[in-house]
């Protein structure tokens, strides 16, 4: 109510990496090779795409 009164709006974004970088399959099975993937590599990928 306060946000409406003040005229504020919100935007929400969901950022993700391509499925080849996910550590789990759609059925929940763990891809063990990906669990060792350093998080900075994923962040590097995410920020390198313009």
pLDDT of residue 1: 84
Task: Indicate whether 31 belongs to any domain.
Answer: yes
Distance CA 39, CA 31 (A): 15
Q: What is the number of structural domains in the chain? A: 1
> Which residue's entry shows tokens 């950022």?
15
Which pLDDT does position 14 carry in this prediction?
Answer: 82
Give me the domain span that covers residue 41: 13-48
Whether the model clears a pTM of 0.75, i.e. scores above it, the answer is no
The whole-number pLDDT of residue 39 equals 65
Check residue 26 and give its pLDDT: 76
| Residue 27 within a domain | yes
Is residue 3 a part of any domain in this protein? Answer: no
**What pLDDT is recorded for position 33?**
67
In a domain, 33, yes or no: yes
CA-based nearest residue to 23, from 11, 14, 33:
33
In a domain, 44, yes or no: yes
Is 36 inside a domain boundary? Answer: yes
1-50, pLDDT tens digit by residue? 898 899 999 998 887 777 766 777 778 787 776 666 566 666 776 677 65
Q: Specify if 5 maps to a domain.
A: no
> Does the residue 7 lie in any domain?
no
């Amino acid at each position: 109510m306060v946000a409406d009164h003040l005229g504020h709006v919100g935007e929400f974004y969901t950022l993700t990496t391509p499925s080849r970088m996910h550590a789990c399959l759609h059925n929940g099975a763990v891809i063990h090779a990906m669990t060792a993937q350093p998080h900075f590599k994923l962040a590097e990928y995410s920020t390198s795409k313009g």
